[in-house]
Every structure is written in C-alpha cells, then in structure tokens.
Amino acid sequence: MATDRINRYGRGREALLAATIAVVAERGLHGLTFRAVAELAGVNNTLISHHFGTKDALLHEAVAWATARAIRLSDLSATETIDGDFARALVELVASEPQLQVFQYEFVLEARRRPDLREEAVALYEGYIEALEVALTRHGHTHARPLARAVFAALDGLVFQQLTVADPDVVQEAIERVGRLLEASLIESRQSA
C-alpha cells in the first residue's frame, strides 16, 4: 500500500506537497496534519518536519507550489486567445486534477477567517491575474489589468462551478463565450481608436 502511494505522488519534497494538496482538498485545512500527509505520501511524518519544519511552512510551500503548477498547466500567460482549445484544456485540467483547484479554494476561504493568510491569498489570485494580463496585452488589449481581473473572475467562477454543480460541457461552452466576448471587445476598441 505504501509503495502505491509513493508511486502515485513521487518522491521527496514534491511528493509531500502533492500529498498536502490532496489532504486539504479532501479534509479541508483543519484536517491538515503531518500524520495525514505522511500517511498519504507513504513516508514517516518526521520527513515532513525535516523538509518544512512547521505545518504553516508546509501550507505556505503548498500554496506556492499549487499556484505555480496550476498556472503552468493552464498555460495562462502563453494563451493567445480564450478559444475552444483553451476551454477544453482548462476543463480537462480541472477534471484531471480537481484537488489542485479545491486546495486553492480551501486556502482562500481560510484566509478569510485567518488574516495572517490574506497576503498569500491575494498573491495567489494576483499570480493568475498577472498571467492573464500578459496574455491580454500581447493580444492587443489595452487597460489589460482590470480586464484580466474580470476575465479571471469569470474563469475562477466557472472552475468552481465545474468542481461543484456544473457539467464540464456547460463550463466549456461558457469559457468559449468569455473568449468571444473578449474578441468582440478587442474589435470594438480597435474600431474606436
């Protein structure tokens, strides 16, 4: 059984971070313990203490790792347009790694209750917004920062819906609609200029 867990999560530090994300996604932040992470990763909990020191340090590292992984996997900053390919890839990402998204939502909600986590929650969201801003600017959008925030809010809400109440096909169609709205906005702003 422990061998299966090690193979599933890999080895070393990244395996512990992946296991942390899975524990929080399943049990919430209140269920995050060294023992739970160690059990899932198939290691001794002293290894977690060795790598991270404290539960808060483990949590902070997991947030940074999860955010970087989600941005890289969704390829936000490299996105040219929010089209069918992007929508399909995002829906597939959420379906293949739901724990990655659930972990981030759990963290943001916990930051609402724990002000000491707020700055990190803001940084999590700003990372996504910055990646979208880069893509939108490269595509020709002006005043891209507020637009990136609005687009991210739409995508974030659609991801949340896919995780909780909506069919992936419905979410994909809505993401494609966001892309068409962006294209229409870009055409309109170019005609006005």
Same domain, 117 and 34: no
What was the pLDDT predicted at 72?
82
Same domain, 139 and 160: yes
**Would 139 be classed as within a structural domain?**
yes
Q: What is the CATH number of the domain that holds 96?
A: 1.10.357
Same domain, 129 and 165: yes
What was the pLDDT predicted at 7?
41
What was the pLDDT predicted at 62?
95
Full residue range of the structural domain in which residue 148 is found? 63-192
Mean pLDDT computed over every residue of the chain: 89
Q: Which residues contact 34 (CB under 8 A, 6 or more apart)?
A: 45, 48, 49, 55, 58
Q: Which residues contact 73 (CB under 8 A, 6 or more apart)?
A: 93, 97, 100
For the chain, the domain total comes to 2
pLDDT grade for 168, boundaries at 50, 70 and 90 = very high
**Would 169 be classed as within a structural domain?**
yes
pLDDT at 28 over 70: yes
Same domain, 47 and 139: no
Same domain, 29 and 86: no
pLDDT grade for 12, boundaries at 50, 70 and 90 = confident
Closest CA to 117 of 166, 59, 161, 33: 59
**Would 38 be classed as within a structural domain?**
yes
**Would 58 be classed as within a structural domain?**
no
Within 10 Å of residue 7's Cβ, how many Cβ atoms? 11
Alpha carbons 158 and 165: distance in angstroms, whole number: 10
pLDDT at 89 over 70: yes
pTM above 0.75, yes or no: yes
Same domain, 47 and 68: no
pLDDT at 22 over 90: yes
**Would 97 be classed as within a structural domain?**
yes
E-assigned strand segments in 60-121: none
Average of pLDDT values for 72-98? Answer: 86
Q: Which amino acid is at 89?
A: A
Alpha carbons 177 and 193: distance in angstroms, whole number: 24
Q: What is the CATH number of the domain that holds 34?
A: 1.10.10
Same domain, 16 and 96: no
What was the pLDDT predicted at 77?
65
Q: What is the pLDDT of residues 116-154, one digit of tens each?
A: 999 999 999 999 999 899 999 999 998 899 999 999 999
**Would 16 be classed as within a structural domain?**
yes
